Amino acid sequence: MSSLETTAPPSVDPSRSRRAARRTPSGFPWLTRLDLRVTPYLFVLPFFVLFAIFGVYPIIYTVWIALTDRSPLNATISFVGLDNFVELLTNDPQFWNAVWNTFGMFVMSTVPQLLIALMLANALNRRIRGQMFFRLAIAMPIITSTAVVALIFSMLYAREFGLANWLLDLVGIDPIDWRANRYASWFAISTMVDWRWVGYNALIYLAAMQSISRDMYEAAALDGASRHRQFWSITIPQLRPTIIFTLIISTIGGLQLFTEPLMFTSGSGALSGGSEGQFQTITMYLLDVMNARFRWGYAGAVALVLFLLIASVSFVNYLLARRISSDK
């Protein structure tokens, strides 16, 4: 380590350490101390400068704009206090429709997503033929662009000439207009999300599973625990921090769901998420308010309420996930 070099332990040879001090080009020990104190901050500074520009400033600006009626259509900006929030929470059925859709799709996509990921990881954790191939294969969807995924799935779920309706037809089910029916659209969008994210979560679970000591499984096996029992009593409790992590990441992603439902329809008005807002999510509503209705102040209020929703749902998830293991 470099820091050990300059402050070498004096016990070995006091004269060497004095020489070392003299070797510093400045010859001023206070400069060295200043250097040691300040330099670490300089190293992390680039991140914080970027964070201030792209993170802190937009947040502060959002708070400010949410308290105004800012719009490109208004020549002047006037302060309206909490009016935007009051309207949003008490008199905006479209917002609550978007909240309902977002949570519906969040549950519909995240629950199977994490369960399937867990099962996949468990299967891949065993010795199977072509282990490497399967481990790589499940990770493949992550490298595809969300827009491409959404585009392809939109074709699969097309009303006419769509693969999904063709398959339904084979088993004698009438074609479904995937964009007209609320739950059909949720299902279609959930499959897009899951196709893309199951592999990612499986990979994280797999990594965590491999760090679980084999001794525990051996001991359990000696005690006569079945594979099933081992999974629930060793694997799951040991994965607890990982499950909390994936839950929080999925919550943030799920509540910000945007590209998939947006690309599910095309043409003008795609932000309205279906003819009756069947699959309009909160982020889509936010952009609808901002770009189509030009109510920038109101959009700021929507963004802040979305932030609070994500924070509180993440916290609830954390509390729930903490209870996974009974021994802690």
Partner 1 sequence: MSVTSRRRFAAIALASVAVLATGTACGNDSESGDGPITLVVDVFGDQGFGYEELYKQYESEHPNIKIQERGKGLGLGDYNTRLTQQITAGAGAGDVVALEEGTIVQFYAQADKFVNLADHGANDLKGNFLSWKWEQGVTPDGKVLGLGTDIGSMAICYRSDLFKAAKLPFDREQVGALWPTWDEFIATGQKFAAADKKNKFVDSATNFYNVVLMQTAGSGSGYTYFDKSNQLVVGSNPDVRSAFDLTTKMISAGLSNNLKSFSNEWNTGFKNGTFAAIGCPAWMTGVIKGQAGDAFAGKWDVAKAPGTGGNWGGAFLGVPKSSKHPKEAAELAKFLTSAKSQAEAFKKVGNLPSSPQALSDPAVAEATNDYFSNAPVGKIFAAGASDLKPVYLGPKNQAVRDAVENALRSVEQGKAADAAWQDAVKNGEAAGK
Q: CA 149, CA 257: separation in Å to the nearest integer?
A: 14
Distance CA(58)–CA(68), nearest Å, equals 15
8 A C-beta contact, residue 288 and residue 92: no
Asked whether position 314 contacts partner 1 by CB under 8 A, the answer is no
Query: Under rule CB under 8 A, which residues in 157-186 are in contact with partner 1?
Result: 158-161, 177, 180
Rounded to an integer, what distance in angstroms lies between the CA atom of residue 153 and that of residue 188?
8
Binding of residue 147 to partner 1 (CB under 8 A): no
- Interaction with partner 1 in 76-105: which residues (CB under 8 A)? 92, 94
Cα distances from 313 to residues 103, 232, 250, in angstroms, run 10, 26, 11
| Closer residue to partner 1, CB minimum distance, 42 or 140 | 42
**Alpha-carbon distances, residue 261 vs 81, 87, 265, 303 (angstroms):** 33, 26, 7, 18
Q: Which of 12, 75, 170, 222 binds partner 1 (CB under 8 A)?
A: 75
Minimum distance of partner 1 from residue 53's CB (angstroms): 6
Q: Report, in Å, the least distance between residue 253 CB and partner 1.
A: 24
Question: Under the criterion CB under 8 A, does residue 53 sit at the interface with partner 1?
Answer: yes
Of the candidate residues 292, 316, 319, 320, the single one contacting partner 1 (CB under 8 A): 292
Residue of 122, 201, 265, 283 interacting with partner 1 (CB under 8 A):
265
Stretch that binds partner 1, among 233-241, 242-250, 275-283, 303-311 (CB under 8 A): 275-283
Non-local CB neighbours of 81 within 8 Å, separated by 6+ positions:
67
Buried b (16+ CB within 10 A) or exposed e, 232-266: ebbbeebbbebbbebbbebbebbbbbbbbbbbbbe
Q: Under rule CB under 8 A, which residues in 23-52 are in contact with partner 1? A: 24-25, 32, 35, 38-39, 42-43, 45-46, 49-50
Tokens of 56: 């802190």
Does residue 13 bind partner 1 (CB under 8 A)?
no
CB of 236 to partner 1, least distance (A): 44
Candidates 73-81, 118-126, 229-237, 243-251; binding stretch for partner 1 (CB under 8 A): 73-81
Residues paired with 68 in a beta bridge: 79
Closest CB 231 distance from partner 1, rounded Å = 44
Contact 89, 308 (CB under 8 A): no
Q: Supply the minimum distance, in Å, between the C-beta of residue 275 and partner 1.
A: 4
Give me the phi and psi of 79, to 5 degrees please. Answer: -75, 125
- Residue linked to tokens 């060497």: 16
Q: Give the footprint of partner 1 on this chain (CB under 8 A).
A: 2, 5-6, 24-25, 32, 35, 38-39, 42-43, 45-46, 49-50, 53, 72-75, 92, 94, 154, 158-161, 177, 180, 265-270, 272, 274-277, 288, 291-295
